[in-house]
Structure 1
Amino acid sequence: MRELSLRLLSVWIICILFTGFFAYIARSIHLQTISSFDEPIIDFVQSAESKGLTSLMKLFTTIGSTTSVALLAILTLSVLLWKKHRAQAVLFAIALAGTGILNQVLKFIFKRERPNFHRLIDIGGYSFPSGHTMMAFSLYTILAYIVWRNLKTAGSRIAITILAVFMIMMIAVSRIYLGVHFPSDIVGGALASSVFLFGVILIYQRFQRQK
């Protein structure tokens, strides 16, 4: 019981810290003091531009699109329900739906315009926080969490974790490379998703223990 309480306390502390970091980034955007963080990263990422890399980044940004996420979500939910993992299916659905709603609310609140220089694809909407990053973070993190709980070996658990991190990072970097997001949009999106996701998982674990 004591170990469990310490774990819960640690997660809540992390959530508070991440919320503080998100608030700091949002304030820096409002005060227009974030450019010293954004510009060097944009220059570094876009300096690697090539025809092949552009095609690869467009592929990852397509993988992170609403359509692709929806298709993967439907497939995952179908498998979970078929396997009779109803609680995990509910967890998965709440994580993704909640992340999507949270992203739209935050975009409406901050209304940050997208970068207007060296854009390789056309896209509308507001910039902060990155919707692709938030959805990728929630999708692949919750997938890794569910699969991790059903795997038995350490090697397979490490592999699924590495794959999830790789997909999140590539989708996030593709948005900077293609010129449709600032790096601070990416960091803000990851922080917002992590806080929401940690909270959802904590509630799920508590429900499972009570059950």
Structure 2
Amino acid sequence: MNRLAQSRLLRFIEARLTPGSEFGLHLTAGLALMVAGVSMFREIADAVGEQDDIARFDVHIAQWFNTHAFEPLTTIMLAITHTHGIVGMSIASTLLALWFWHKKAPYWLLSVLIVAPGGMLINVLLKNVYARPRPMFEEPLLTLATYSFPSGHTAASTLFYGLIASYVFTTSPYWKRRLSVAAFAIAMVLLVAFSRVYLGAHYVSDVLGAMTYSAGWLAICIAAVSTLRRRRAARRDQ
């Protein structure tokens, strides 16, 4: 590689890692997280499709929870899972969008409008591509007719709480607040995921797959909206 090519390569890398650039670090980080999420999802999906060890582990865990279910935990898990269903998450996303509108944060409002519908559309497509049957039991706690992989409830909660955590991380100058909200978001996603496995609606790999693809989708959406905001700001400053 000659010096001119090396110089161009270094300038390209520097531009991709510059925090304030419109195509800088935020976009690089978003693409990296998207690639990581898609890669992890593919690994999980391949293992599920090949009926690998993870599939046997799935069945074992599902049977164990069905056998050892008890009250009041079952009622609590039903409340959590129903709260994070289509109706509950639609209401929550609408309220979040209204809050961003009230805060005069149009780009975060745009993020809500892209992240939630797009993520759930991807979920429907993936369910039909893999067409994995849900866990089956002699005495099920919850019965659903749709496909199992990946979990829609887990995907929706990952997108919703992940978006809130991203907003706080981006706008708050206080690390304690950032870490508290991040911990809350992670805890809520894990709680929803656990409720789906506990109730026998999904296998463990279903919720893991939902988390990975949703995290990747969330990352690239936020990066894209941030790029749009930076480009428009740069044009106004010209």
Q: TM-score when scaled to structure 1? A: 0.90
Change (3 A) 1:78 1:120: same
Q: Does 1:120 align with 2:141?
A: yes
Amino-acid identity (%): 26
Instruction: Give the partner amino acid of 1:12.
Output: L
By how many angstroms is 1:193 displaced? 0.5
Instruction: Give the partner amino acid of 2:211.
Output: A
Tell me what 1:193 maps to: 214
- Say if 2:132 and 2:148, in contact at 8 Å, map to a contact too: yes
Residue deviations 1:119-162 (CA, integer Å, cap 9, x gap): 21122211010000111100110012123333332211111111
Tell me what 1:73 maps to: 93
Tell me what 2:58 maps to: 38
Q: TM-score when scaled to structure 2? A: 0.81
Tell me what 2:76 maps to: 56
RMSD: 2.0
- Say if 2:133 and 2:148, in contact at 8 Å, map to a contact too: yes
Within 5 Å, give how 1:119-138 maps onto structure 2: 119-138=140-159
- Say if 1:130 and 1:188, in contact at 8 Å, map to a contact too: yes
Q: Secondary structure at the match of 1:51?
A: coil
- Structure 2: any 5+ residue segments left out of the alignment? 1-14, 234-238
1-side partners of 2:214 and 2:190: how far apart? 14
- Say if 1:18 and 1:195, in contact at 8 Å, map to a contact too: yes
- Report the more deviating stretch, 1-10 or 116-125: 1-10
2-side partners of 1:170 and 1:108: how far apart? 25
Q: Secondary structure at the match of 2:72?
A: helix
- Say if 1:54 and 1:178, in contact at 8 Å, map to a contact too: yes
By how many angstroms is 1:95 displaced? 0.5
Within 5 Å, give how 1:16-27 maps onto structure 2: 16-27=35-46
2-side partners of 1:83 and 1:11: how far apart? 24
2-side partners of 1:12 and 1:83: how far apart? 28
By how many angstroms is 1:191 displaced? 0.9
Q: Residue 149 of structure 1 is aligned with which of 141, 154, 170?
A: 170
Instruction: Give the partner amino acid of 1:146.
Output: Y
Instruction: Give the partner amino acid of 1:200.
Output: C
Q: Secondary structure at the match of 1:196?
A: helix
- Say if 1:127 and 1:185, in contact at 8 Å, map to a contact too: yes
1-side partners of 2:102 and 2:29: how far apart? 35
Q: Does 1:89 align with 2:129?
A: no
1-side partners of 2:51 and 2:193: how far apart? 22
2-side partners of 1:150 and 1:11: how far apart? 17
Corresponding pairs, count: 211
